[in-house]
Amino acid sequence: MFNNELFSDVKFVVRGANGESESKQVIPVHKFVLSISSPVFEAMFYGELAETTDSIELPDCEYESLLELFRYIYSDEVILSGSNVMGVLYLAKKYMVPSLTDKCTKYLNDNLDPSNVFSILPQAQKYEEKNLVDNCWKVIDERAEEVMKSDELATIERSLLEEVVERDTLKVEEVELFKAVNLWATRRCKEQGLSTDGSEKRKILGERIVKGIRFPIMKQHEFADVVLDSQILTLDEAFRVVKFFNSVLSTPVGFPEEERTGLRELFQRCCRFRSVQYSCSGYPYLAAKKDCLFLSVNRDVRLHGLIFCGSENNKYSVTLHIKDFDKREYVASKTGTFLSELIKAEPVLYYGFYIFLEPAVIIKKGVRYRLEASIVGADSSFGIDGRQSVLCSGVTFGFDDSSESTNGTKTVRGQFSEFLFTVV
């Protein structure tokens, strides 16, 4: 009986397969069959205000999508594709056919990827399909590098771009996110016939997006090469970020300073303590003292950062040096101010702060490295029950005391609580 005029008592007229309103196509149906599957059709054909005409025009859908709705009602089967699934989902919602809605959302979940996530997410939000919305955000977070380079990013609404930029869980280098935002603004300006200079792009973007970009965590050469050339920041904002890079800024920089948590999940973690303690006197940080420790590994690793103990809602000014002790040369140095947060480690939970190394440092097998940190800030928690060697993700980390440690850090206690790494 599907798409068959035999015994048909009503016809639906819709836009043709090519989407042109001038091209009309007709689908014959049977009122009773549609009504027993959809309460909306039941009201349409047998309610108090029932349709009396034998031809009903639907301007809000296309032939292909409506045909699949009817196919499902008649046969419990549906042929979904990238070109019709959104239309079918719309009709399944409109005519209250929940089992077809489930099939559409399953199809979208199964075919979700960085190239189409921005076309699916707004519809999933519109139809309040929470599971599909969550999966869309999961793709955006975990495959953010690919998502930022997709063609569909340029087509999204500003409100959605604001949500993306403010997500802490994105796994993306900040400069790549900025490039995507800059491209979005450039295309919007061209569409509206505006110039593509920095001030116009700033207006198009709005303050929420600009202030959501974490310029302070970019590499200095990325900021100079990509951000400054865009001219989206004001001169004052640019000067403040440059001063921040050079540790000569005495007031807030005006942009988020913390790495996105999504990036942290890309690294393996090695915690050298079994417990963390905060005594009445705390662990004092004094400018005249320093925490030192020797580190070695049995496999080459890239060291992306370290975690230090701290206390709740406090800032710490740190100068960190990593030295190849055999060659007597520094392989990394980092200076900055870092805000503490709750650190969830295995097997401890404590307040601390991250220090990321840019670029990551190669820690070579069998080489002794000396870690040195001069920290100024509030009293802090500190690690206890430390181990001389810890096996993490197939890598053995070895630790030894340094005679130059004057602030209490040793193998069994103190600072340098965790190491963020990937195996070379």
> How sure is the predictor about 245, in pLDDT bands with cuts at 50, 70 and 90?
confident
**158: Cα separation from own chain's centroid:** 17
The secondary structure of 314-380 as a DSSP string is: -EEEEEEEEEETTTTEEEEEEEEEEE-EEEE-SS-EEEEEEEEEEEEEEE-TT--EEEEEEEEEEEE
Domains in the chain and their CATH numbers? 10-111 (3.30.710.10), 138-245 (1.25.40), 267-423 (2.60.120.820)
| pLDDT at 223 (0 to 100) | 95
Alpha carbons 112 and 139: distance in angstroms, whole number: 8
Mean pLDDT of 364-372: 96
**Highest mean pLDDT of the ranges 35-39, 246-250, 356-360:** 35-39
Alpha carbons 80 and 313: distance in angstroms, whole number: 52
**Residues near 267 by beta carbon (within 8 Å), at least 6 away in sequence:** 304, 305, 420, 421, 422
Mean pLDDT of 50-60: 87
SS3 content of the chain, % helix, strand, coil (to 5): 35, 30, 35
| Residue-wise pLDDT tens digits, 1-15 | 888 889 889 999 998
Mean pLDDT of 50-77: 92
Alpha carbons 260 and 343: distance in angstroms, whole number: 14
Alpha carbons 406 and 408: distance in angstroms, whole number: 6
Mean pLDDT of 71-93: 95
| pLDDT at 254 (0 to 100) | 93
| Residue-wise pLDDT tens digits, 107-138 | 999 999 999 999 999 999 999 999 999 999 99
